[in-house]
Chain A
């Protein structure tokens, strides 16, 4: 087997397995004729195979309906962001319990709210349960409830009443300070608001109905939290760990969702979160965000390929 054929066989893995069994030999035969004995595989052909393979996976999820594909990607992205938010908050709650420090402020981060035991517990529970409730609503196909919860979370955060954990650890908005002084805490606000924006886009895309999803998705925070405790790390390792578990989840049972999910996560990260997170003054935040962004950049590259529209007729040749 030539090096070119090996590369093409590898790229063919972007297709679902049964499609590969059915059509793989024919596609490889066509590629062999195109190749004509040249040893180096054609980069355009490799990219084309990966794009078409991901597209085929996406079609299986949404029945070839392009609007449905975008809606599915957006809703799935919102679901994942909400689960990540719930995990980060639950993680902080576990620290509070471990150290018996409930009511003594947040154990991590330097934005400590005033010490009030009952109110402290209520705050952490709100920060955990609100995103979880929205995630549950998405799984049940209730788009309006799912949209309201992250908006409520954002409002609570911006009022300074409840601190939330986002992509860059725990943060509490300080209403007394100016927007400029609060600027680096905007990362969490965008993290909380992004699911609402995604769900709004999903609702406007003209897709048939909001899809219902397996409630097994709600187990993801538990898996993430165990990993956090195992590493005994702070929430700044959140993105790399999240990406790891996500990759495992998607590559395994939900592999047909890979293309849409990668898109759903990449959009909010690149548009909403990354710019504000990188503006955070803490060095370790930037490191965590950069490593997470590397994984997400790859995911967005794959999804960009999968979602690239074919050339439309009438477009002038470049």
Chain B
């Protein structure tokens, strides 16, 4: 499986705790990334379209709030697996460096 893009990764990560609608996904993604990832609506819906197409996310339901339709999205089981695989890959990539940092000599200034 190819590397997951950052907006995709954090969109999935935002849905780990349960179904959310578009705006809530952007807020959650911002929170879980310590404010680093700010999804624009364009990026968010491109990512959601792709994820819906791949079956990693599905529509959970709709409700109307203040006259506007909200659509909720939830992680599918294959979406959860893909997210876990990507997290493991990132952890492995980090471990390559972290485990050797203490042993490696400090570069001369």
Given the interface pairs A29-B68, A45-B40, the reply to whether A311 lies near B5 with Cβ below 8 Å is yes
Contacts of B4-35 to chain A: CB distance below 8 A: 4-9, 21-23, 26
B70-A55 in contact (CB<8A)? no
* Known A30-B41, A34-B41: A311·B7 in contact at CB below 8 Å: yes
Given contacts A26-B22, A26-B71, A30-B23, contact A312 B40 (CB under 8 A): no
8 A Cβ contacts from A1-59 to B: 23, 25-34, 44-45, 47-53, 55-56
Contact (Cβ within 8 A) A48 B41: yes
B residues in contact with A23, CB < 8 Å: 45
Residue contact A25 to B69, C-beta cutoff 8 Å: yes
Q: Which residue of chain B has its CB nearest to the CB of A317?
A: B36
What range describes how many residues of B lie at the interface? 20 to 34
How distant is A306 from chain B, measured CB to nearest CB, in Å? Answer: 11
Tell which of B3, B23, B42 touches A33, judged by Cβ atoms closer than 8 Å. Answer: B23
Q: Is the CB of B6 within 8 A of A312?
A: yes
Q: Which of B8, B22, B41 has the most CB of A within 10 A?
A: B41
Q: In residues 46-78 of chain B, which contact A (Cβ within 8 Å)?
A: 46, 49, 68-71
Which residues in A have their C-beta under 8 angstroms from that of B22? 26-27, 29-30, 33
> Is there contact, CB below 8 Å, between B6 and A310?
yes
- State in angstroms the CA–CA spacing of A122 and B5 once bound together: 55
B8 cross-chain contacts in A, Cβ below 8 A: 310
Q: Complex Cα distance A26/B45, Å? A: 10
Which residues in A have their C-beta under 8 angstroms from that of B41? 27, 30-31, 34, 45, 48-49
What residues of B have a CB within 8 angstroms of the CB of A312 in the complex? 3, 5-6
Q: How far is the CA of A29 from the CA of B93 in the complex (A)?
A: 38
Nearest-neighbour CB distance to chain A for B2, whole angstroms, equals 11
Which B residue's beta carbon lies closest to that of A305? B42
Smallest Cβ-Cβ distance to B5: which chain A residue: A310
Does B44 have its Cβ within 8 Å of any Cβ on chain A?
yes
Residue-wise interface mask of A (295-318) relative to B, using a CB-CB cutoff of 8 A (1 in contact, 0 not) = 000000000000000111111010
User: Closest residue of chain B to A50, judged by CB?
Assistant: B42
Known A-B contacts A26-B22, A26-B69, A32-B68; the reply to A53 vs B42 at CB < 8 A is yes
Question: Interface size (A, Cβ < 8 Å)?
Answer: 29
Q: Is B95 an interface residue (CB 8 A)?
A: no
Q: Which residues of B contact A314 (CB under 8 A)?
A: 90, 93
The answer for the CA separation of A312 and B2 in the assembled complex, in Å, is: 11
- Residue ID in chain A nearest B44 by CB atoms: A30
Q: Which of B5, B42, B86, B93 contacts A52 (CB 8 A)?
A: B42
Task: Bits for A82-116, please: 1 = Cβ < 8 Å to B, else 0.
Answer: 00000000000000000000000000000000000
- On whether A52 and B45 interact (CB within 8 A), knowing A26-B69, A312-B3, A314-B93, the answer reads yes
Could you tell me the distance between the alpha carbons of A6 and B4 in the complex, rounded to whole angstroms? 34
Whether A313 lies near B5 (C-beta < 8 A) is yes
* CB-based contact B70/A311 at 8 Å: no
Q: How distant is A48 from chain B, measured CB to nearest CB, in Å? A: 3
**Considering the chains assembled together, what is the distance between the CA atoms of A56 and B46 in angstroms?**
8
Bound together, the chains give a CA A53 to CA B3 distance in angstroms of: 23
The 6 closest A-B CB pairs, nearest first, are: A48-B40, A52-B42, A48-B42, A30-B22, A33-B23, A29-B68
